[in-house]
Chains A and B, each alone.
Chain A
Amino acid sequence: MTDNTNTNTVNAYNKRKNKEEMKKQIISFALMIGLTLIAFVVVATGSMSKMFAIPVLFILALVQVAFQFYYFMHMKDKDHEMPSVLIYGGVWAAFLTLCGLVLISWW
């Protein structure tokens, strides 16, 4: 199993694919920087009321997490079913923990 993961052979197809991949990476990276900046601006300038700013920050955070998982961690590519299952499993376990603590202990 270990020796057929070799990708030493660089052909034209792989080259083009890698180039496209790099383009996507850079675009998503730029977007993430942008989103971070927006989040900072929202808080720093105080242009939004708290009621509105907090959900906005949450949405921005969610989008960033999605970029992180799907682009940087390659969950959009095929053969990533198992990592997806495990990551979403972990998200679920963390969600339950938070729910438990928020709903039972603090509410």
Chain B
Amino acid sequence: MSIAATQKRSFGAFLWDYLTTVDHKKIAHLYLFGGGFFFLLGGLEAVVIRIQLIKPENDFISAGFYNEMITMHGTTMIFLAAMPIIIGLMNAAMPLQIGARDVAFPFLNALSFWLFLFGGLLLNISWFTGAPDAGWTSYASLALDSPGHGIDFYIAGLQIAGAGTLMGGINFLATIVNMRAPGMTYMRMPLFTWATFITSVLILFAFPALTINLFLLMFDRMFGTAFFDVALGGNTIIYQHLFWIFGHPEVYILILPLFGLFSDVFSTFSKKRLFGYTAMVFATMLIAFLGFMVWAHHMFTVGLGPVANSIFAVGTMAIAVPTGIKIFNWLATMWGGSVRINTAMLWSLGFIPSFTIGGMTGVMLGSAVADYQYHDTYFVVAHFHYVIVGGTVFGIFAGLHYWWPLMFGRILHEGMGKLTFWTFFIGFHLTFFIQHFLGLMGMPRRYWVFLEDQGLDLGNFISTIGAFFMSFGVIVFLINIIYTAVKGEKASADPWDGRTLEWATASSPPPYYNFKQLPLTRGLDPLWIEKREGNGKMTPAEPLGDIHMPNGSFTPFLMSLGFFIAGFGFIYQTDNSLWHIALFGGMAFALGCMIYRSIKDDHGYYIPKAELEREAD
């Protein structure tokens, strides 16, 4: 218990520790709290939107402010809340699941986080000067004509945060390819690790499209080019294509990790090995593969022509097949298992019907002909909230309850957890189920107000009440976190009778070097195999020896700060050339940090064998 052994430290030391950490477990904490903060912000924006729509012709907020609200709600939730929290969960669990001591590039991992945080802060600072207002997709036809600097904040913020995500993806790929413990073959990896791997591939291939797109938009807005400006001979549709070539894989980046997580949760709490493990792995791959060739289903009404629309419609519907395989495999995993229903399991059980509804409306939207009717109505809003909230957010909650002991050494309060689940679950369906019908009745999305007596009043009212239920659930969850931190039940190393390697460490949370000796994996669900054979713990794959550890570093923070300052320079240099100082100064500072990092030799340090022996239980 190395953490309990350290004396009480000052707050300054604690802060410095987190500012300089390269430990994947602490970076996971940072991601969770960073992402959590933006989740609350995005949630607040959602509540404001719903209050505006509680009654016909409401004037709670102005039309322009409403546009900023919907834009920032979407952007924040996807880029700054869902993805970072998912990456936080990956950081917390994936290296442990493959029996590694850290990710492949710990320094890069810290850099990923700080880039995300500074990018997110930059984007949200726009609230003080005028936020972006062209929707989360920021289509060029709207974005190019948006006055003020809102869109520029969107571009700079996402560019910085996106660079962090891309690095994170590469880091996870290198980790899973190179750092699996002895015996941990690919086909013995837990499904969450598999999902992390495949998601990282998606990040690697999808994010460059976003980067390029944002650059082109930036050139058009700031430097007078005309890539997307139709009046000057550009083509605004190219923006849409590039955005969705990124954007469609992005929605799989949001859901696949949680598919992996649900697989782990179902198999742990059903005390059964995952049904159809191989099929699950290949279904995940197939979803990722198909995910790259269906982007134009977001553009059916653009006028691509019947041939292109048909091809993309068929491709879209094909994705339902591997997804269906997964749904049935989860059901079959629980079938005949010794199912234990706690909060993590409740979220997972709630996910199956919710996500299936979202998938079903997805197939409906995938039909190009019918899409002309649904396009840009609340039907679409209902659909993607069913998959993103019903899939991603439910998954995040399941993951937080499942891995809270692993991350913080305490078990979240079950009663409050269940209260959160039921209020959020009921609120979620109240909010979004009715929106299907609002959409079918013709209510367009992104409209500031709707008129009275068109049959939309009651539906919108119910929808807003649902949003209050969800807010209540989230507040209970926050109280739960504080309660657990103060007097929560201390967790043992293996509180759920787990099956995979993250529960095979010496304590919860694991010691900073994770495994004193790397574990030997003898099959799928390695810890379960050892338990069944009466060993109870993993067999070490190596003799006790010195452990090589990376040194902490403050450079990632400074490097990201440099880009953050340069971001302001880019945004405002069109107003006043003095801002070039910030632009070049920030860039020079960031580059200087990179040069410093490249020249300085940092070989890390060793934990001597003697110390490890002393710590032995």
Contact = CB atoms under 8 A, between A and B. Distances in A.
Interface stretch (B131-139, B156-164, B256-264, B288-296): B288-296
A105 B240 CA distance: 11
Interface stretch (B52-60, B201-209, B433-441): B201-209
B204 A96 contact: no
Interface string A77-97: 000001000100110110011
Interface residues of B, number: 26
A89 B235 contact: no
Contacts of B304: 104
A1 B179 CA distance: 7
Nearest to B174: A82
Interface in A57-106: 82, 86, 89-90, 92-93, 96-97, 100-101, 103-105
A2 interface: yes
B331 interface: no
A89 B205 contact: yes
Given A2-B548, A104-B308, A105-B238, A97 B245 contact: yes
A49 B548 CA distance: 61
B201 A89 contact: yes
| Residue from B177, B205, B304 having most chain A Cβ neighbours under 10 A | B205
Contact of B241 (A2, A89, A93, A104): A104
B173 A93 contact: no
Contacts of B338: none
Contacts of B237: 105
Given A100-B241, A101-B238, A104-B304, A1 B204 contact: no
B577 interface: no
B238 A90 contact: no
B241 A101 contact: yes
B99 to A, nearest CB: 10
B609 to A, nearest CB: 14
Given A92-B292, A93-B205, 5 more contacts: A86-B204, A89-B201, A93-B206, A100-B296, A104-B296
7 nearest A-B residue pairs (beta carbon)? A93-B205, A82-B177, A104-B308, A97-B245, A104-B304, A93-B292, A90-B205
Interface of B: 173, 177-181, 201, 204-206, 209, 235, 237-238, 241-242, 245, 292-293, 295-296, 304-305, 308, 518, 548
Interface of A: 1-3, 82, 86, 89-90, 92-93, 96-97, 100-101, 103-105
16 contacts: A1-B180, A1-B181, A82-B177, A89-B201, A89-B205, A93-B292, A97-B242, A97-B245, A100-B241, A100-B296, A101-B238, A101-B241, A104-B296, A104-B308, A105-B237, A105-B241
